[in-house]
Structure 1
Amino acid sequence: MLTRFHAPLNSRLVLSKHCDFCFQSKRLNQVCCDSCSALLLTPNQHRCETCYLPLAEPGICGECQGNIPFYDQVICLSDYQWPIEPVIKAYKYAKQQHLAKPLGQLIWQHIQLTQATLPDVFCPVPLHWFKQWQRGFNQSEVLCKQLAKHAAKPMQKPFTRKHYGSSQAGLTRRQRQKALAASFSCQDTFSYKHWVIIDDVVTTGSTANVLARQLKDAGAERVDIWAIARTPKPSQRR
């Protein structure tokens, strides 16, 4: 289970009776095999109702209470650590785009279990055109198309990333906010009131917060974030 992410699978030669993550046998009506499903799905624990970080009991974390974000709710499939981390890296950096389909199916199952309110429209976190050209695709956009299809909702791309910068990984929340302040532009007005932004990983929430603020400035009333994984704080990592 979860052992062969390095294989070149974009040809879609994997049969539907095999798990897309580890290639072991699975039932035809399953997204993936039982072993991968047990590993990839979010553990049964309390989460902040706003930012999705783990909590000791139900509620909203102190950080979100003291500094209310512009987004309304984050929902993720799992924490950004083993075993989901190598899956995301394979999808994002090894160009294994076929993984968007099973990941989208798992996120959709998780959304249904949480009984989250469906949005009017979906949108992906944008990449700068040069980074997208280098990578060959926008991993958030490919995943967004999958989830919009599951929800039978439209997908829009209201954002443009204006600046090509270095990776935000490793920066503090304050550093990210400063770097992102002028990085995105957004269409002026929208008729849709409830948006869901699709991302691969929510790290500090700074990108999500910037985009949510721009959507609300343009007329949105509610903005949620759905992602594959949420990066835990260092003290919360297992």
Structure 2
Amino acid sequence: MLSIPALCWLCRLPLRMAQHGLCNGCLRQLPVLPELCPRCGLPARADQVCGRCLQRPPPWQQLICVSGYQPPLSHWVHQLKFCRATALRVMLARLLLLKWLAMRRCYGLPRPDIIFSVPLHQRRHWRRGYNQASLLAQPLARWLSCDYREGISRVRQAAVQHELSASARKKNLRGAFQLEIPVEGRHILLIDDVVTTGSTVAEISRMLQAAGAASVQIGCLCRTL
């Protein structure tokens, strides 16, 4: 029986390494990010922390994103999140790995001791059948030779974040998360699929910092710019 070759998700040509999902040619054609602040991930002069972060630094040390919320990444995120296209997980996690490695070369990021994913409430997780952030975090932890732990739980179901304003998002998340394992002195990488206002990752980061984490990095596929 002949096997059907895996196809690249963009050009639809056969892939030599099926698990990568993208050939090198298509990888080079992904949208180029503008210059971003390495701390908050918003537009700024390259290699410099922006004025926003100097005045009011976010409760994490670095934010790593693959792309702005634009095609093709936004389309793939939507498929992964809402269309059960879980076969995308390894390709998307690899893009996040490549971006993390590039940031490490530029800024000397510490290798994480633990990778967490932003949790879903139990009811929402049950309805969807999986946590898309967890699907990204698991292969990333394997490639970075660190622990993946489901040590953060969402103890209060809140309104859907993308339906709220920035100020309402902050109020919506107060007391929504609980840390279940010790993190004192550990370097943490927190994974989400999309960071918009940053309210969710900020709430979790504050909790991790209060528990004594040595540093918190945020990794996401898309950052709303």
- Written as runs of structure 1 = structure 2, the 5 A alignment for 1:56-71 is 56-71=45-60
- Written as runs of structure 1 = structure 2, the 5 A alignment for 1:184-199 is 184-187=177-180, 189-199=182-192
1:103 counterpart = 2:96: no
Structure-2 change in CA distance of 1:58 and 1:124 (3 Å)? same
Structure-2 change in CA distance of 1:37 and 1:108 (3 Å)? same
1:128 counterpart = 2:121: yes
In structure 2, the residue matched to 1:204 is 197
The CA distance in 2 between the partners of 1:204 and 1:30, in whole Å, is: 32
In structure 2, the residue matched to 1:38 is 28
In structure 2, the residue matched to 1:75 is 64
Q: Which amino acid aligns with 1:66?
A: Q
Please state how far the C-alpha of 1:118 moved relative to its aligned partner. Answer: 1.5
Q: Which amino acid aligns with 1:37?
A: L
Cα deviations by residue, 1:142-201 (Å, 9 ceiling, x for unpaired): 111010011011111221112222211143332211110121112363355100001100
2:209 paired residue among 200, 206, 216: 216
Please state how far the C-alpha of 1:109 moved relative to its aligned partner. Answer: 1.5
Report the more deviating stretch, 19-28 or 68-77.
Answer: 19-28
Report the more deviating stretch, 29-38 or 176-185.
Answer: 29-38
In structure 1, the residue matched to 2:75 is 86
- Written as runs of structure 1 = structure 2, the 5 A alignment for 1:96-175 is 96-115=85-104, 116-175=109-168
Structure-2 change in CA distance of 1:201 and 1:152 (3 Å)? same
Contact 2:59/2:202 (<8 A) preserved: yes
Contact 2:19/2:90 (<8 A) preserved: no
Structure-2 change in CA distance of 1:14 and 1:78 (3 Å)? farther
Cα deviations by residue, 1:79-129 (Å, 9 ceiling, x for unpaired): 111221111000110011110101111111222222243111101100001
Please state how far the C-alpha of 1:39 moved relative to its aligned partner. Answer: 3.9
Quote the sequence identity (%). 31
The CA distance in 1 between the partners of 2:223 and 2:36, in whole Å, is: 11
Q: Which amino acid aligns with 1:200?
A: D
Report the RMSD for the aligned CA atoms in angstroms. 2.2
Structure-2 change in CA distance of 1:14 and 1:121 (3 Å)? farther
Contact 1:172/1:204 (<8 A) preserved: no
Contact 2:5/2:15 (<8 A) preserved: no
Where 2:148 maps in the other structure, the secondary structure is coil
Q: How many positions carry a matched residue from both structures?
A: 218
Structure-2 change in CA distance of 1:168 and 1:152 (3 Å)? same
Structure 2 runs not aligned, ≥5 long: none
Cα deviations by residue, 1:35-88 (Å, 9 ceiling, x for unpaired): 531343x61532112011122443122222222111111001111112211110
Report the more deviating stretch, 48-57 or 212-221.
Answer: 48-57
Please state how far the C-alpha of 1:22 moved relative to its aligned partner. Answer: 5.4
Contact 1:120/1:192 (<8 A) preserved: no
